[in-house]
Chains A and B, each alone.
Chain A
Amino acid sequence: MSDSPRTAVSNPPVQPMASNLGQGDLIRRSATDELPPPQRQLTPVAKLIDVSKCIGCKACQSACVEWNDTTPAVGENVGAYTNPHDLTENMFTLMRFTEWVNPSTDNLEWLIRKDGCMHCADPGCLKACPAPGAIVQYTNGIVDFIHENCIGCGYCVKGCPFNIPRISKADHRAYKCTLCSDRVAVGQGPACAKACPTQAIVFGTKEDMKRHAEGRIADLKSRGYANAGLYDPPGVGGTHVMYVLHHNDQPHIYAGLPDDPKISAVVQTWKGLTKYVGLAAMGFMAAGSLIHGVFTRPNRVSREDEENAEKLVKTGGAEPPPPAEERA
């Protein structure tokens, strides 16, 4: 069985491949106490986003929409290039544009940062998640949402130090970048990295990406960016999506990228509690309808959801309900 892919640039294998990411590759599983140890250790992967090479063309956004087959709504202009205006359940990555006047040179700099899931080594979302198996982490570092296990409680949003997951108004489940786990599982890099025309987004092993970043940082320093550096924040154990920033001393100027992200204290405390919730949830599955009301009350299904669910049953589940934005 093959290890993690080394690049996003290569063409896909011609022969069909079995998925290389399975249950035996999990190192963490939300609300799961006794996860068997992984059967092997895959080489950790990372996506490196070189903000200094990025031209803000949104090819990554476009590729993300195409690969994940999402349907972001045609919105309106609100006086900015950032479109849609925020991450949504249909837009897992977003170019955020910031006009920043550098106080030391008085020159304008147009900072363009591709926002999306950072795939933390210590994932706050997973720790906050009360639904068993709704969020998993693979040995290669990818943090993935398993939608059929998601209960739509939104705790992952609270747990995320980067404010990334979004709850779908249509199916009430949480969505975010998967680091194209379905592509990586068959030896390919993420769609965004493949589409990036300037290779501002590169993909490979985390070690290779760090080395690549060193070369980029040296180039930036030679061009006068004394504080150029790699954003791989230790507060979350490092990330599997990293940035090269011209101004690594002040990440917040890049559309509010946290200077020192940490999992919130609430979630750290909650982590202890999840154990019981998790156990209870498993009990719920075993005991069935007896305790149904107790645990579903915080996540009560709306009338609309019930109707949609009924429709799903009637149509054999072929057609998901349209996203809320479209219905509006």
Chain B
Amino acid sequence: MTNAWTDIKNTDLVVVMGGNAAEAHPCGFKWVTEAKAQRGAKLIVVDPRYTRTASVADFYAPIRQGTDIAFLLGVINYCIKNDKVQWEYTKAFTNASYIVKDGYAYSDGLFTGYDEEKRDYDRSSWDYVMGEDGFAVTDPTLQHPRCVWNLLKEHVSAYTPEMVERICGTPRDKFLRVAQMISECSSPTKTMTSMYALGWTQHSHGAQNIRAMAMLQLILGNIGVRGGGMNALRGHSNIQGLTDLGLMSHLLTGYLNMPTEKETDFETYMSSRQFRPLRPGQTSYWQNYRKFMVSFQKSMWGDAARADNGWAYDYLPKLDVPAYDVLRVFELMNSGRVNGYICQGFNPVLAFPNRGKVTSALSKLKFLITMDPLETETARFWENHGEYNDIATRSINTEVFQLPTTCFAEEEGSLTNSGRWLQWHWQGGSPPGEAKHDTWIMAQIFLRIRELYRKEGGPFPDPILNLSWNYHDPNEPEPEELAKEINGRALTDLRDPADPNRVLVPAGKLVTNFSQLRDDGSTACGCWIYSGCFNEAGNNMARRDNHDPDDTGAYLGWTFAWPLNRRTLYNRASADLQGKPWDPSRKLLEWDGTKWTGYDVPDIAPNARPDQVMPFIMNQEGVSRLFSRGLMRDGPFPSHMEPFESPVANVFNPRMRGNPVARIFQSDVAQFGTSDEFPFAATSYRLTEHFHYWTKHNRVNAALQPEFFVEISEELAALRGVVNGGWVRVWSKRGSVKAKAVVTKRIRPLTCDGKVVHVVGIPLHWGFVGAAKKGFGPNSLSPFVGEANIETPSYKAFLVNLEPTTAPGVQS
């Protein structure tokens, strides 16, 4: 989230698209209810299904899954055509005026530089014209035909209301009503918030879905303001923490990158991370990258990380591929190149796509270790459960170790919520049976491996032998110790550069925040963006002061928000070029002539003049990007792309399948279905009665939603002769499931490009262990393809067929 859950109460218009907040985030949804009840805010839902969120919406518009980009570019087109643009904001705070290189173009659904063989673009032309002064060339009048604004205008002009209807199946009048309601928020005193979730991310073009809305929010002037923003609703209580702490193969902590094998030494690695400002006087905060990186290395390896060994850069693994994401790892496992798997807090048999392939991959392992507080299908993948897990147990040689862990209430620590709040919690009960904290288990594994390296050596034992492990009890690092390590400390006295006699932080003390980190090895910090969470003032994550002066929704005394306890990112953009709030009733910050003051921690240097330093300090430009240069693999602008399995061809280029640069493994190509064989458009989602595959273990949740079902329209039911509550079989090119049918008016067939498209809704909460009735998940059906930039699997749009059937027999 750019903003916070509590800030949603400040909005005038909530757009829920690519998510179902009432269903999947019922507690956070209270802030939508607040905005509606207290401010008279309106709620729009755009979704293939009339959802629980839609049931309390002011307006609902249907859309075919996977076509959100066309819809959103249609809204941008509407806003430009009808002059519904926050001009002052757009001109000052976005790259609308930047001139783009001549080589860049877009036609037939593709940008310049496409190489079909490599499934990749040459992105060199997707960039600004650079002036002789070394800065990007701009035209503040927006007259230049090659400025971003004019290219954007041209790019979105194809997305007329008629085109939106043709692609998305959204009736023209409904689309226009949504566009009109959204466009009203171009006023400086009206804001809209975007609440989205996996309905946008889980597509092969997921990142571009989000970009399209971010661009719309920028031209409406809704980023950095109260009640505005791009608000990703994270699906687990700590999934924000997972990404922040770099639990992804291509990331270190705090969004520092894992090096690639081409970056053979530290200086080479740093050479592409200088982040020189692209306009005069801009902050380009990533210029501090070296400080964060060196402090990270010191945190990992202490005295073994020295200037003369490139801060132990050689100790870091180097990527030979863009990432070892889950799809790649299971592909490697299935082809016998990954032989052991530690599965910590994950249930791949239900969570990863193409379950048949996942099971086949697990069956080839030498060992599988699961760490989970609950019984999982993954730990039991080898067990025959009749039709629900029809497997020949004897044929599997994988050795499975189940290590029971504690659940959140049985341990102390912090959880990072969607709004970037690190909230400390305390242990509420003792772990049952043999359950152990994850930290204890990991420490045991580490200590034993280190002992083996010590005794037996090996090709390169240094990173293991030298790993910092300075805990009170090496067998189980304590949560507070880890939090302090993440916050960072001074290793030697940190002196004021202006006055060397003045010690800012004595050696051994915790740093106040990341502004004190240095690149000379005098500081250590586990995750720079979290720095400030636990400093000499104490555990700031444990703060529980719920005062909120003037009811702004900021709650600065409640826990700690990264970065620097800032609640709204880019909040300097809430004020104009003179530093006056766009909307005085929604002030966040104000320039008092010498410094920024207000309700939130300024997202800019406190004395940065409003007419000189622009608000988007993490970008080299200082402004936000309507045109994202070469930073994304699939285009500098979003453009309409169909799902890999789509009921209709791409109207801009019928030859194009899915995202033209998404990675596809050779073994999966034959497993894509076509609409001839699989005529119906399926999508998958959560239900409010359950949380993923956990709550089926709970009798109460199981009673409230007991059994796997799929949802279809009355029209599709009639077409296939399905009765409400009867059994149906749903199958794709990859698998088959049996489910109860819920025949509903909440799903209606759509007409797309002249063709009737039937939608099949598949919720995801059932498996073969737990208190609920045995069932299946949508991952038995969904395709093995990820998002082109980040490899998030595409669960939201694929093709299936459907017919009436009989109840599954337990014996196969």
Contact = CB atoms under 8 A, between A and B. Distances in A.
Interface of A: 52-59, 61-62, 65-66, 71-81, 83-84, 91, 99, 101, 107-112, 197-200, 215-216, 219, 222-223
A79 B773 contact: no
Contact of A74 (B688, B702, B744): B702
B536 to A, nearest CB: 32
11 contacts: A57-B688, A58-B688, A71-B699, A77-B707, A79-B724, A79-B726, A81-B705, A81-B742, A99-B744, A197-B30, A200-B33
Contacts of B708: 77
A151 B182 CA distance: 61
Contacts of A57: 22-23, 26, 52, 688-689
A74 B706 contact: yes
A110 B707 contact: no
B700 A108 contact: no
B27 interface: yes
B706 A77 contact: yes
Interface string B9-24: 0000000000000110
B743 to A, nearest CB: 6
Contacts of A199: 30, 33
A109 B700 CA distance: 28
A74 B706 CA distance: 6
B27 A197 contact: yes
A90 to B, nearest CB: 9
Given A52-B56, A108-B745, A66 B700 contact: yes
Interface residues on B, range: 35 or more
Contacts of A71: 699
Given A77-B706, A197-B26, A198-B30, A108 B50 contact: yes
A-B pairs, 3 with minimum CB distance: A79-B725, A79-B724, A55-B22
B165 to A, nearest CB: 18
Given A77-B740, A110-B54, A197-B30, A53 B703 contact: no
Contact of A56 (B40, B52, B771, B772): B52
Task: Identify which of B26, B704, B745 gathers the most chain A CB atoms within 10 Å of its CB.
Answer: B704
A198 B55 contact: no
Contacts of A72: 700, 703
A31 B26 CA distance: 44
Contact of A55 (B23, B703, B740, B742): B23
B701 interface: yes
A75 B706 contact: yes
A76 B22 contact: no
Given A110-B746, A197-B26, A75 B703 contact: yes
B668 interface: no
B58 interface: yes
Given A56-B688, A108-B746, A222-B40, A77 B56 contact: no
A112 B688 CA distance: 14
A107 B61 CA distance: 11
Nearest to B21: A55
Contacts of A80: 724-725, 742
B33 to A, nearest CB: 4
A246 B701 CA distance: 29
Contact of B55 (A65, A112, A215, A216): A112
A65 B40 contact: no
Contacts of B574: none
B489 to A, nearest CB: 38
Given A80-B742, A99-B744, A198-B33, A55 B55 contact: yes
Given A76-B773, A223-B58, A55 B707 contact: no
B741 interface: yes
B442 interface: no
A326 to B, nearest CB: 11
A103 to B, nearest CB: 14
Contacts of A101: 745
A74 B135 CA distance: 66
B627 interface: no
Contacts of B707: 75-77
Nearest to A112: B55
Given A83-B704, A108-B50, A74 B23 contact: no
A83 B700 CA distance: 11
B709 interface: yes
A200 to B, nearest CB: 8
A203 to B, nearest CB: 16
Task: Please classify the interface of chain A as helix (H, G, I), strand (E, B), loop, or mixed, using the class held by over half of its residues.
Answer: loop
Given A52-B56, A79-B724, A216 B689 contact: no
B37 A216 contact: yes
Contacts of B702: 74
A316 B744 CA distance: 50
Contacts of A110: 50, 52, 54-55, 746
A79 B703 contact: no
Contacts of B746: 99, 108, 110
Contacts of B745: 99, 101, 108
B193 interface: no
Nearest to A216: B37
Contacts of A223: 58
Given A74-B771, A77-B707, A77-B709, A197 B725 contact: no
B772 A74 contact: yes
B29 interface: yes
A65 B700 contact: yes
B704 A109 contact: no
Contacts of A200: 33
Nearest to A222: B40
A84 to B, nearest CB: 7
B378 interface: no
Contacts of B50: 108, 110
Interface in B723-776: 723-726, 740-746, 771-773
Given A53-B33, A81-B742, A219-B37, 20 more contacts: A53-B56, A55-B22, A56-B688, A57-B689, A59-B26, A62-B700, A62-B701, A66-B700, A71-B699, A75-B706, A76-B740, A77-B709, A77-B725, A79-B723, A80-B724, A107-B60, A108-B50, A110-B50, A199-B33, A216-B37
B53 interface: yes
Contacts of A108: 50, 60, 745-746
A62 B23 CA distance: 15
A53 B54 contact: no
Contacts of A84: 703
A6 to B, nearest CB: 19
Contacts of B704: 58, 61-62, 83
B591 to A, nearest CB: 37
Contacts of B744: 99
A57 B689 CA distance: 7
A79 B26 contact: no
A112 B703 CA distance: 18
B404 to A, nearest CB: 24
Contacts of B771: 74
Contacts of A65: 700, 703
Contacts of B742: 77, 79-81
Interface in B671-719: 688-689, 699-709
Contacts of B699: 71, 74
B736 to A, nearest CB: 19
Contacts of A81: 705, 742
A19 B697 CA distance: 36
Nearest to B31: A198
A313 B707 CA distance: 38
Given A62-B704, A65-B703, A80-B742, A55 B52 contact: yes
Contacts of A215: 37
Contacts of A66: 700
Contacts of B27: 197
B22 A74 contact: no
A55 B54 contact: no
Nearest to A219: B37
Given A55-B23, A57-B688, A216-B37, A74 B55 contact: no
B157 to A, nearest CB: 31
